[in-house]
Structure 1
Amino acid sequence: MKTLHVYVVMATAILSVRTQVTKGAEKTKECICELNNSGLTFPTRRLQNVMSGATDCTQKITTQQMSEVDILMDKLHHRLRQLEQDVVDLEQEDDGSSQQGDLYMAVSLRIIEIELAEILDLVSKLNTTTAGHQGLSKDISIKLKNMNTEMESLEKFDHTQIVQKQKQNQVLMKALTKCQADMLVTVAPPVIPVPGNCFRGNLLNVTGPSTYTVTEYGTSYAFGAWGRDPKPAKGKEDWYWLVALTSSNIYANYIRWYSSHSAIVVGVKAEDVLISSSNPTTNTVQGPNVAMYENALYYSCYNSPTLCRFNMTARTITTTALTDAGHNNKFPFCHLGACYAYTDVDVSTDESGLWVVYATPENFGNVVLSKVEVNGTASLGRTWRTSLHKRTVSNTFVACGVLYATRYLDKYNEEIFYSLDTVSGLERYDVGLRIKKMTDNIQSLNYSPCDQKLYAYSDSYVLTYQVVFG
C-alpha cells in the first residue's frame, strides 16, 4: 500500500489529503481526506440559545401592546372633553326654579356621574397597562444585555475576523454619511436679536386658557375688558379690574374692582367706581379696548378722537387728543364675517409703560402706534406708522416693546400673525402663533407684565392665557 500525503493548513485546522493504493486480487486507488481540528469547537448550542431568546423578545413585544397606551389615552382625552362640555351645558341649563329645571339638572348630574366613573375606570386601566409595560421593558432589557454579552463572547470563534471587519466597515460608513451630510448643510442664518430688547426673550407661544368663567353679569354683556394694573395703588397689588359695556354693548360708565382672582371667578366684587352718572355722556367709556395703569383707567372717550384718563382716587378726568384718529367705527377691528363695534382705539400696557393703537386717514387706515407718556397727565410720545391695515386685525396688544396683532381664523382659533419691533422698526407678517378660543369672538386682549398673561374678554367670558418667552 502506498500513501501520498498533502497537507493544507487552515487557521487552527489541518486538512490532510492522502491517496491510498490497495494491493490484492485487483489494485484499487482511493482518496481519503482527514481533517484534524486543533482549535476550539464552535459552541453551536450557545448561538441557538441567543437566537431563541431574540425570537422570544420579538413575540413578547407586539404592535398591539405598543399601541395600548395610545388607545387608552385617546379614550381618556375624549371622555374628558365630553365631561367638560356636559359641565358647561349643566351651567347653562334651567336655574332650578321649576320642577322641570330640577329634572334637567338631575339627569345632567347623573350623566356626569357616569362619565366620571368611566374616566376613573380608564385611569385604572392606564395605570395597570403602564405598570405591565414597565415590567416587560425591564425583563426585555435584562435579556438583551445578556444576549449582547453572549454574542461578544462568541466573537472569539471568528478566527478570520469577519465580524470585526464588519464593525469597522459600519464605523467608516457612518463617518462617510456624516461627511456627506455636512457638505450639504447650508450656512446657519444669523441670530435674530431679541425684539424690543426684551430681557424676557422672544415670544415663543401662548398657552391656555387657564381661566375660563362667566362674570357675575352672566351672559348679558358680550363686550368688555379686564386685567391687572402693572403699577397699582398701594394695597391693591393683587386686585383685578373689570369694565363691561352695559349700554348697547358700546358704552360703560363705571369700573368694577375684585380683590383677588378667585373673587372674580365666584363673582364677589369689592367695589364699583362710577365714572359718570349717566350713559352715554361726555366722559363715557366707548368701546371695549381699555386698560388700567398707575391707578387710572385709560379709554376711548365718547364720540371723539380722544384718549381719556380717569383717576381712580381723585375721580377726575383728563384727555389727550389723538390727532386725525378715526373714531365712531371708522377704523374698527374686523374679520371677514363682521367688525367689532367702536374698537377704533385700543389701549395696552407692557413692561415699559402705556401704549395706544389707532388708525388715521393720513396713514391710509393702517395701524398707528403711539407711546403714552404719563407724568400726572397723559401725552403722546414717539409714534410708529405701520403697513398693517386696521380692518384686517381682530385685536392688538403690546408685550416687551413689541406690538402684536391677531386675526380671526375660525370659531376655535385666533392667530397672532403680525409684530412690530419698536426698537428696530422691523415688521413681520409670519409670527404664526395660535390662541385657542372657547367662544367665537375675543372682544379685547390685555397683556399684563405682572404675570406675563393675556387677559381676554370673550363673549361675556373672562379668560387668561400664559405668554411664553425664551
Structure 2
Amino acid sequence: MVWTLETFDQNGVLATRRELASVRKQLAECEEAAGNPNFGLPSAMITKIHFPFYSITGTCDNKKLVNVSKPFIVKLNWRGFNYKYGAWGKDFAIGNKHPDMFWVAPLNTDERRMETYRLYNTYTDMLLYKNQIEKSLSEYVGLTWNYANCGQGSGIILYNGSLYYNCYNTRNLCKLDVVSHKLNRRPVEGAAFNNWFSYGGVNWQDFDFSGDENGLWVAYATETRKGNVTIGKLDPDTLHINEKWDTSLFRPNATNTFMICGVLYALKRVSAHVEKIFYSFDTNTGKEETLDITVEKLADTPQSLSELISNVLQGITLPTLSTLGDNMKIVILF
C-alpha cells in the first residue's frame, strides 16, 4: 500500500511538472507573438511576408484558391468567455485611411446584437489590450435603450475607415465612420432578414460583408429566390448595390462565405474540427464550380470570415481569413 501511494505521488508530481512546463511554453509563445509579427508562420513564408496582417495590394491573375493552412490562436477577445461570437480584423480597403488599425466587435451573449466595438492602433496593442478606443452603438433614450444603430450578426467588415454591418432588426445596411461616428443606412429591397436564411449553424448573419482586391461585397438571400445566395457589389459611399449575381447556392447549406479576387467561396461543416470549401462562384465569368478544400478549425462553427489582403506568396495572392468564434481570434493563412 505504501509503495502504491508513493508511486501515485510520483506520478502526480510528474504530471504537474509536465503541465507546468506546458504552461511556461505557452506563456513564452504568447510573449514571442506579442513582439514578433511573423510568429506562427512557417519559416519558408517569413522571408516572403513582411507582416501577416498588412493590407498590401495583391494581384489576381486568374489564380484560384487551392489550399488553406492550419489555424492558430491569436488572443481571447476582451469581453471574455461568455462572448463567443463576433468579428475582428483590419481595414480591407487597399490604400485605406488606417493601415495599422485593428478592430474587434464581439456580439452580445444573445449571439445577435453587436453593441460595442474596440479599435486598436496596432497589432501589438490588440495583443496586449492597450491604447484601445471603445465605442457603444446603443443609446439610452427616455427610460429605454435604443438599439437602432447597433449591428446584427457577425458579417461585419471595416472598409476604408468605416464599419459595414446589418442594421439591427432590419434589412438595412449600415455604414459607420469609426472616427466621426457618422452613420448612414440603406435598405436592400426584398432581402431576407432576422434569421430567415442565415448560414447553417450560424444565427442572425443575414448579410455577410467581404472586401477583396476588387472592392466591397455583400452576400445575402432574397425572399423571391427562396434563400439562394445573391452576391452584391457595393458602392462604399452610398451603400447602393451597383451589380449583383444570383447563385444556385442555398444559403443555409453553407456555414460561411468569403470573397477573393471577385470569387465567392462557400464552406460547409464536416466535423467539429474540419470545414470544407465546397463551392465557388466567379463574378468575373459567372461560372460556378464544385470544390473540395479542407480547412482545419478550432471553433465548431466559424462565425465570421474576413479576408485581409496580404502579400504575394509564390505568385499567388495571399489573403488572410480571420474569425472570432469560441472567444478566440483565429487566423487562417492561405
Pairwise same-fold verdict (TM > 0.5)? yes
Q: What is the CA distance between 1:421 and its match in structure 2?
A: 0.5
Equivalences for 1:23-422 in 2 at 5 Å? 110-112=17-19, 198-199=60-61, 201-231=63-93, 234=97, 236-277=98-139, 281-334=147-200, 339-374=201-236, 376-422=237-283
Q: What is the CA distance between 1:114 and its match in structure 2?
A: 6.4
The amino acid that maps onto 1:229 is D
1:18 match = none
| 1:203 counterpart SS class | coil
| 1:378 counterpart SS class | coil
1:54 match = none
The amino acid that maps onto 1:432 is D
Q: What is the CA distance between 1:210 and its match in structure 2?
A: 3.7
Q: Which runs of 4+ in 1 moved over 6 A?
A: none
CA distance in structure 2 between the partners assigned to 1:107 and 1:284 by the alignment: 51
Q: Rg: which structure is higher?
A: 1
Equivalences for 1:3-42 in 2 at 5 Å? none
CA distance in structure 1 between the partners assigned to 2:81 and 2:113 by the alignment: 16
Q: What is the CA distance between 1:265 and its match in structure 2?
A: 2.7
CA distance in structure 2 between the partners assigned to 1:349 and 1:270 by the alignment: 24
Moved more, 296-305 or 223-232: 223-232
The structure-2 alpha-carbon separation of the partners of 1:215 and 1:426, relative to structure 1 and needing over 3 Å to count, comes to same
The structure-2 alpha-carbon separation of the partners of 1:371 and 1:112, relative to structure 1 and needing over 3 Å to count, comes to same
Q: What is the CA distance between 1:363 and its match in structure 2?
A: 1.3
Calculate percent identity across the aligned residue pairs: 30
The structure-2 alpha-carbon separation of the partners of 1:258 and 1:200, relative to structure 1 and needing over 3 Å to count, comes to farther
| 1:438 paired to 2:305 | no
Q: What is the CA distance between 1:394 and its match in structure 2?
A: 0.3
The structure-2 alpha-carbon separation of the partners of 1:269 and 1:411, relative to structure 1 and needing over 3 Å to count, comes to farther
| 1:458 paired to 2:320 | no
CA distance in structure 1 between the partners assigned to 2:222 and 2:267 by the alignment: 19
Larger RCO, structures 1/2 (Cα 8 Å, 6+ apart): 2
| 2:321 counterpart SS class | strand
The amino acid that maps onto 1:244 is P
Contact 1:253–1:277 under 8 Å retained in 2: no
| 2:68 counterpart SS class | strand
Aligned length, in residue pairs: 276
CA distance in structure 1 between the partners assigned to 2:114 and 2:223 by the alignment: 27
CA distance in structure 1 between the partners assigned to 2:109 and 2:163 by the alignment: 18
Could you tell me the TM-score, scaled by structure 2's length?
Answer: 0.77
Deviations 1:222-281 (A, max 9, x none): 1100011023764x3111111011252211222201222233233335211333325661
Structure 1 unmatched ranges of 5 or more: 1-105, 117-196
The structure-2 alpha-carbon separation of the partners of 1:259 and 1:313, relative to structure 1 and needing over 3 Å to count, comes to closer
Deviations 1:65-87 (A, max 9, x none): xxxxxxxxxxxxxxxxxxxxxxx
The structure-2 alpha-carbon separation of the partners of 1:435 and 1:355, relative to structure 1 and needing over 3 Å to count, comes to same
Q: What is the CA distance between 1:200 and its match in structure 2?
A: 6.9
RMSD between superposed Cα atoms in Å: 2.3
CA distance in structure 1 between the partners assigned to 2:14 and 2:165 by the alignment: 46
CA distance in structure 2 between the partners assigned to 1:442 and 1:201 by the alignment: 25
Deviations 1:397-449 (A, max 9, x none): 101110011001110101111100001111112x1111111132211110111
Could you tell me the TM-score, scaled by structure 1's length?
Answer: 0.55
| 2:17 counterpart SS class | helix
The structure-2 alpha-carbon separation of the partners of 1:266 and 1:400, relative to structure 1 and needing over 3 Å to count, comes to same
Contact 1:289–1:343 under 8 Å retained in 2: yes
The structure-2 alpha-carbon separation of the partners of 1:107 and 1:443, relative to structure 1 and needing over 3 Å to count, comes to farther
